[in-house]
Amino acid sequence: MTSATVCSNAYIVEGSLGALPTVALVHPSGAELVVALRGATVLAWRAPWSRPSSSSHDVVDLLDGYATEQALLAQDATRSGLMFPFANRIAGGTYVFDGATHHVPPVAPGETQTMHGFARVLDWKIVPEDEGDLRGAEGTDGAGAPGDTSGPGGASVAAPVALTLATEVRGSGVAGYPFDLETRIHFELTERTLDVTWTYRNVGRDAAPVTAGWHPYFRIPGHDTIDGLELRVPARATVATDASLLPLDGEAARVVRDAVGPVALAGACLDTAFTDLVTDADGRARTRVLDPSTGAGLELWQERGNMHVYTGDGLEERARASIALEPVESLTNAFNREDCAQDVRLEPGEERAFRFGVGIVAPHRS
Q: Give the pLDDT confidence of 35-74 residue by residue, as tens digits.
A: 999 999 999 999 999 876 666 789 999 999 999 999 999 9
Which of 182, 41, 11 lies closest to 116 in space, CA to CA?
Answer: 41
pLDDT digits (tens, 9 = 90+) for 151-185: 444 445 689 999 999 999 999 999 999 999 999 99
| Nearest partner of 110 among 121, 101, 99, 100, judged by Cα | 121
Return the pLDDT at 57. Answer: 81
Q: Is the pLDDT of residue 133 over 60?
A: no
Whether 27 shows a pLDDT value over 50: the answer reads yes
User: From residue 304, how far is each of 240, 256, 310, 354 by CA, in Å?
Assistant: 19, 18, 19, 8
Specify the 3-state DSSP secondary structure of 306: strand
Question: Residue 229 and residue 23: Cα distance in Å, rounded?
Answer: 32
> At residue 144, what are phi and psi to the nearest 5 degrees?
70, 20
**CB–CB of 217/45 below 8 Å?**
no
The answer to whether the CB of 29 falls within 8 A of the CB of 160 is no
The alpha carbon dihedral of 81, 85, 89, 93 has a sign of: negative
Distance, CA of 189 to CA of 27 (rounded, Å): 7
Q: What is the pLDDT of residues 171-220, one digit of tens each?
A: 999 999 999 999 999 999 999 999 999 999 999 999 999 999 999 999 99
Mean pLDDT of 134-161: 52
pLDDT digits (tens, 9 = 90+) for 242-252: 999 999 999 99
**Structure confidence at residue 154 (pLDDT):** 47
Model-level pTM? 0.91
Chain center to CA of 336:
23
CA neighbours within 13 Å on the CB side: how many for 227? 7
- Spell out the residues 6+ positions from residue 332 whose beta carbon is closer than 8 angstroms to its own: 87, 88, 89, 239, 241, 245, 246, 247, 273
- The continuous run of DSSP H or E covering 63 comes out as none
